[in-house]
């Protein structure tokens, strides 16, 4: 690839990232002017006892999904499906789940489903899971497998990657800016590649960076709405990579971190590591 071609591709990625940030800002302004159901419905108290708004999560979900889905093609359609499912079912959880249900966590919701009890968290898991499989099927519409069984296995792998990423990003949304930094850390390197997921990664990264100032200042928070949508989009960017070992490695990392979160606190791990602690606190209004 020539230098001119490379620069042209990077320029297009930068434009898509700027579009993600711009659409997120526009969505945020629109939602702030006319909050669905009223402003109080979206107000929450964060870890530090300060009032924040979940409208920031709705704005970044809308902005990132719109930017990632523009342009047509199976990759963009897959991103639109994954981001919409993550944002919609995340909003369901944010706006309807009781405090008792929220305390269940991932393991608790899976256990409830196994007992035949459908919590809003369980509905979110099912909804995002189905949406992720549909997105994976759309993303690989051209076919990666030589046989129907190989095709099914490929869709299952990509679907698990998208759903797992949606859940994992949500697990990091415990301090201002943390989940957004994780999303940017995943998507920025992908956006610089020539792979099929690069445009989706660029849109997601731009939207995450656009939402970062409000999140760090503790005016807004992602909630499940923003975190699940951004995670699903980051997972889609990874799932679009045709190389099975790459996707298997990404899924193994996601499963490992998710399992670790059931045993130890990410906040404690970050607090105990000077480098992670500094990155985590960077830009935060109240370190």
The token pair at 16 is 């898509």
User: Rounded to an integer, what distance in angstroms lies between the CA atom of residue 232 and that of residue 135?
Assistant: 10
pLDDT at 103: 47
Angle (CA) 70 75 80, round 5°: 50
Cβ 228 vs Cβ 90: under 8 Å: yes
Would the pTM count as exceeding 0.95?
Answer: no
pLDDT at 15: 94
pLDDT at 110: 62
User: Rounded to an integer, what distance in angstroms lies between the CA atom of residue 135 and that of residue 137?
Assistant: 5
pLDDT at 141: 66
Cβ 202 vs Cβ 13: under 8 Å: yes
User: Coil, strand or helix: which one is 36?
Assistant: coil
**DSSP output for 185-203:** HHHHHHHTS-STTHHHHHH
Residue whose structure tokens are 């702030």: 32
Residues with pLDDT less than 70, the chain: 1-5, 98-117, 141-146
């Amino acid at each position: 690839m020539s230098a001119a071609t490379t620069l042209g591709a990077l320029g297009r990625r930068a434009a898509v990232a700027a579009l993600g940030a711009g659409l997120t800002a526009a969505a945020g302004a629109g939602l702030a002017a006319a909050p669905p159901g009223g402003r109080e419905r979206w107000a929450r108290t964060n870890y530090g006892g300060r009032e924040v708004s979940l409208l920031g999560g709705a704005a970044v979900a809308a902005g990132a999904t719109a930017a990632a889905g523009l342009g047509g093609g199976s990759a963009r359609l897959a991103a639109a499906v994954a981001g919409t499912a993550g944002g919609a079912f995340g909003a369901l959880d944010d706006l309807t789940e009781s405090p008792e249900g929220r305390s269940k966590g991932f393991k608790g919701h899976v256990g409830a489903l196994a007992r035949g009890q459908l919590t809003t968290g369980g509905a979110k898991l099912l909804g995002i899971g189905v949406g992720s499989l549909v997105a994976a099927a759309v993303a690989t519409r051209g076919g990666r497998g030589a046989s129907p069984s190989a095709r099914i296995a490929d869709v299952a792998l990509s679907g698990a990657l998208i759903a797992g990423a949606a859940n994992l990003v949500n697990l990091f949304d415990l301090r201002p800016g943390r989940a957004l930094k994780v999303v940017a850390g995943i998507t920025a390197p992908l956006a610089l590649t020539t792979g099929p997921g690069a445009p989706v990664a660029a849109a997601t990264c731009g939207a995450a960076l656009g939402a970062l100032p409000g999140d760090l200042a503790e005016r807004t928070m992602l909630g499940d709405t923003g975190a699940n949508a951004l995670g699903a989009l980051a997972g889609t960017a990874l799932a679009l990579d045709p190389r099975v070992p790459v996707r298997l490695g990404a899924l193994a990392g996601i499963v490992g971190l998710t399992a670790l979160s059931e045993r130890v606190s990410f906040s404690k791990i970050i607090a105990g590591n000077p480098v992670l602690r500094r990155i985590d606190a960077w830009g935060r209004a109240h370190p």
